[in-house]
Every structure is written in C-alpha cells, then in structure tokens.
Amino acid sequence: MFISHGEKLRKNARWLMAGVLLLLIPGFVAMFTTTGNTDRRGGDLPTIHGKPIAAAEFEQQQNLVQAQYMISQGRELRKTADTLDQLKQQAVVQLLLNRKAKELGVRVTDAELMQQVQHLPMLVNDAGQFEPERYRRLLAYLTKYGINEAAFEQVLRSQLLHAKLQQLIVSTVTATPVEVQQAYLPLNEKVTVDLVRFEMADYTVPITVSNAEVRAFYEESKESFRTPAKVKVRYATFPIAESEKTIQLSDDEINEFYERNRFKFTDTNNIAKPLVEVKPEVKAELLKLRAERAAGDRATELTVKLVRQSEGKPDFAKLCAGLNAAVQETGYLTATNKLPSLQVGPDFIQKAFILTPDQPYSDPIAGSNAFYVLEYVDGKPSGIPAFEEVQDKATEQVRQLRRYAATLGDGTAKVERLKKLIAGGQTFAGACAELKLKVETPPAFTVAQEKLDLPAATSIQQVVLGLPVNATSELIRTMTGGVVVHLRDRQAADLAEFEKNKAQFTQQVLQRNRQALFNAWLQDVVRTEQVDFKIKPRTTAETEEPPAAN
C-alpha cells in the first residue's frame, strides 16, 4: 500500500505511534499481575467474563504485540518468564481496546493511516521525501522476523486506532493553574543529601555455589544464554575514488550541471553566484555524482554476471578479478554488528542476513566511499548452547546473584543499626562514623532534574520527594548493591523559574492527567470485563534478574 502511494508520503509527520502501547501497557498491566490460584497453568488462554478468548484471535494479538516491539526496538522480544507474561497481558489489553474502539465507533481509514505516517524518519531522505527503496529495504529486513508488508501496516493501523481511542477518552481533561503550581513546586525544590553505598564489589565474604544450583539456574534461564544468528559473507568493493580517476568532465557538462542546480550555489541573498566563482565546487560535486554512478554501475555489472551464469555456481572471486574488484571475507556477523572500517550503513548487515545458500548474492550496497556486492559463505542459526558450553558463565552469574543478595542483606542490617543509633540521639554523620560507613554528599539537585549522576538516581529522587529534613531512608536497591539516603536540606523552588517554564510544565501536567485518566479507564474496562490473564504465579527468586557480572 505504501509503495503504491509513495508520492503521498512527504514531510512534517512523525513516527508518531511507534511503541505507544509498548510504553503504556507494561506499567498498566503490572497492576493486574496477580498470583491468582496456584493451580493455574501459564499456558491457559486468558478469559473474559469467564470464557476463554478464541485461540486464533489471541495468537493474532500476540503476534501483533511482538511485531510492534520488533519495529520500535529493532530486535526481537527476549523470551523470559516476565516478558512472556507481559506479552500475554498486552495481547489481551489490545484486544479489549479494539473491542472498545468498535463499540465507540472509532476507526482508522486508509487516508488517516497514510496521513499519520507521511514522514517516517527511516523512510525519507534529507529533503523529507519518501523513498520506495528505503521502504523495500525495511521490509526485507523485517521479513526475516516474519513481518511482511501487511503485518507492518497492521502494526501502524493498530497503534493509530488506540491513539485515537485514547484521545477520545481523555478529550475533556484539563490542568488548572493551581494544580500546575502544586505539581511544579515539590519537583523543583533544591535538596541536599548525604548517602552511603553498599556495593557488591566491597562485599568480601566468599560466595560458594554448587553445580546443582548452577544447573538449575541454567535450566530456568536457558533463553538468556541463547546465541544470536550469525552470517559470514565475502564482499567485493568498488571504491568511488577509483572511479573518479577515470572521469573527465567537459566545460559543457559543468555548465549544464550548474544551470540545473543553480539553487545549490547561492549567496546570502539566495541569488545564484556566477559560475566563474563556484566552478571548482560545481566540478567537485558533479565529479562525485558521476563517480558514484560509475562505481554503482560496476557493482551492478557484477551482479548481472552472477545472475546470468547458467552452468554451475559462479566463481565470485574470478568474476571480481575480471572487474578489478578486491574481495574480502568477514568473520561471523550478528545482526547488531557495526562495520565502521567499511563506512557502510545498517543495510550491509541487513542484506547479509537475507542471503541464503540458494540465493547467495546481494544487490549493490552503497557505502559512503564505495559500493559492495556480497556473497553468502556460511550461517549459524540462533540457538541455546549446551550446559557444558556455558557452565563457567552460568556459575559466575549465580555467584553474582548470591553476592548481590548478600550485599542487600548486609546493607539492610547496617541501615537498621544506623537508624537505631540516630534514634538514640546521634547525628547521621556520627552514626555512620561509628559503623565505619563512608558518607558522600553530592551536589544539590531537584526531583525533576534529568541525568542525575547518582546510583539509582530515579529511585533516590522519588524517595526524597516525601522524606522530611534530617530523615533517613530505607535501603534503596541499585544495580550493584544498595544505597541509603539522609536528607540534609530542602530549599524552596524558584518561582521566577516557574513562571518562565509555566507553559511547558502545564503541558506536562496535562499529559500526566490524560495518562492517569486513560489508565483508570482501562483498569475499569478490565474489571468490568472480568478479565483473567491466567498468569502463572512465581516466587520472588524467579522474578528477580541477576545483576550484570563485573
């Protein structure tokens, strides 16, 4: 559809809805993740009003959610117990949203769909014009994840439908001046804190784990050990600079190019400069264009020879030698590999992964300084290694998990002792000194401040929002242990700064109110429809992610 209507995809629209539900629904469905009855099975179909959702309809929504994730994140959904639970819940919520949209008469026409995706950044050039070739490359890349053109359009249509539904639900939401000020002031008070860290790296008690523990962890977490698919290719290089050496430009050609592109060579008044002043620039640009075309033509010539050879497999190296094209071979590449030495874009890797033993040659691929043609050499599918292959890695992960838990336990005990000393009349600094805890006092900050250089910065900001001056927090978890915070001082927000940013903050509060209303409406829909997500109960140990290994 978008190929056929490519001329309508122009500038000024945005990749408006990519990931909208992926941002909205995980936070919402967390409210509905219940332990439920212990006899539930994770594979049971969710129910609405006590009746199971049709398997085909449920599977369709799950596939749509996975496609949304793939398109917005550029990678497949990692299949862990938690993400599978979220996948199930998101599929049900999307199904409910579809039904509510139908009840309320909300729909998306083809014209609306095209209007909303006029300017997908990945599909337009620097001038904001839609390029069908970019769209073709995107579809080729998505195909290996099972997402065809129809599925891609369905993702966009679904996101737009739910956005229109949300807009309808929240259309009456407002943000009063008093409400805006009350929301602004506590978030912009200047707070000064003391903090103490409890780091895994500082926990020196030996951690031992058994082989049985490691194997059990491997069996429960197999998917986390999955290796990505890999491909190895040869590539022929057609440098643009080499083509430049063979091109001779006549004055007539330079004059003609200048006349057709006068708008590119203007002065500050947007008046074209005389050719005599800009001739070197004109010549350089025309030479570059001709050289790029020549290098691309040589690459195309190779692909034609590869396709036209009728007997046996073409000798890639021999054909390249006949065209004076150097041939090199990559190591095994994953879909996330970067190749900065070749100065190529992501389409190099994308086209490499499209190749197969039956279709081993690529079309010409444009780099910044050369064109390339690929030949498939070998591939390795994604897979889960045997336990013996990853035993050392799994052992270290279990050890790190145990060390993390021990660090948290040690930190919690010390925080309890710290609070008892403070309750007995000691200052925070004095109590820390008695317990031999190192105190840090970072620069003052606000709750609204972004890019705060503190461990678990967001959690600390949330905690100090409701912490009285001279009070001490509970242990706050970080990625590498924990931290306890003592609020030393709190200074009132700057009202002059508030007035300067009032309009912007009003929009933020309005958006917050809209999101809160929509979440409340959605919760009510789930309750009214008597939804049972059929989530399998798990222990705390099963839901905790081990920290990254040092």
Over the stretch 79-114, which tens digit does the pLDDT of each residue have?
778 888 899 999 999 999 999 999 999 999 988 887
Rounded CA-CA distance 175/128 in Å is 35
Q: Does residue 71 form part of some domain?
A: yes
> Domain boundary residue among 320, 349, 380?
380
User: And the tokens for 4?
Assistant: 């056929």
In this structure, the answer to whether residues 405 and 536 fall within a common structural domain is: no
What 3-state DSSP class applies to 482? strand
In this structure, the answer to whether residues 370 and 411 fall within a common structural domain is: no
Give the pLDDT band (50/70/90) at residue 150.
confident
pLDDT at res. 127: 75
In this structure, the answer to whether residues 508 and 419 fall within a common structural domain is: no
What 3-state DSSP class applies to 377? strand
**Owning domain of residue 314:** 230-380
Contact 161, 173 (CB under 8 A): no
pLDDT at res. 282: 84
- CATH number at 33 reads 1.10.4030
H-helix or E-strand containing 233?
A: strand 230-239
Task: List, for residues 58-80, the tens digit of each pLDDT value.
Answer: 999 998 998 888 888 777 787 77
Alpha-carbon torsion (149, 150, 154, 157), positive or negative? positive
In this structure, the answer to whether residues 273 and 126 fall within a common structural domain is: no
In this structure, the answer to whether residues 124 and 63 fall within a common structural domain is: yes
User: And the tokens for 446?
Assistant: 């606000």
pLDDT at res. 23: 37
pLDDT at res. 340: 82
Contact 93, 65 (CB under 8 A): no
Most confident of 4-13, 37-46, 51-60: 51-60
H-helix or E-strand containing 242?
A: helix 240-245
Question: What is the total count of domains within the chain?
Answer: 3
pLDDT at res. 464: 94
In this structure, the answer to whether residues 370 and 395 fall within a common structural domain is: no
The pLDDT > 90 percentage for the chain reads 57
pLDDT at res. 219: 94
Rounded CA-CA distance 344/369 in Å is 8
Q: Of the ranges 335-339, 380-384, 400-404, 409-413, which one carries the lowest mean pLDDT score?
A: 335-339
In this structure, the answer to whether residues 23 and 170 fall within a common structural domain is: yes
- CATH number at 211 reads 3.10.50
User: And the tokens for 358?
Assistant: 């039956």
Q: Does residue 122 form part of some domain?
A: yes
Contact 415, 239 (CB under 8 A): no
In this structure, the answer to whether residues 372 and 243 fall within a common structural domain is: yes
Using the predicted structure, report yes or no on whether residue 4 has a pLDDT greater than 50.
Answer: no
Rounded CA-CA distance 185/440 in Å is 26
For the chain, how big is the Rg over CA atoms in Å?
30
* Residue 549 burial class via C-beta count within 10 angstroms: exposed 0-12, middle 13-18, buried 19 and up: exposed
Q: Of the ranges 134-143, 309-318, 483-492, 539-548, which one carries the lowest mean pLDDT score?
A: 539-548
Q: Of the ranges 20-34, 185-199, 461-475, 496-510, which one carries the lowest mean pLDDT score?
A: 20-34
Q: Does residue 518 form part of some domain?
A: yes
In this structure, the answer to whether residues 345 and 424 fall within a common structural domain is: no
Task: List, for residues 491-511, the tens digit of each pLDDT value.
Answer: 999 999 889 989 988 998 999
- Give the pTM: 0.59
Using the predicted structure, report yes or no on whether residue 30 has a pLDDT greater than 60.
Answer: no
In this structure, the answer to whether residues 357 and 399 fall within a common structural domain is: no
Using the predicted structure, report yes or no on whether residue 32 has a pLDDT greater than 90.
Answer: no
Give the pLDDT band (50/70/90) at residue 2.
very low
Could you give the count of Cα atoms lying within 13 Å of 88 in the half-sphere of its Cβ? 24
> Domain boundary residue among 380, 414, 446?
380
In this structure, the answer to whether residues 55 and 160 fall within a common structural domain is: yes
In this structure, the answer to whether residues 196 and 63 fall within a common structural domain is: no
| Residue 90 CA: distances (Å) to CA of 26, 46, 528 | 7, 11, 17
Using the predicted structure, report yes or no on whether residue 1 has a pLDDT greater than 70.
Answer: no
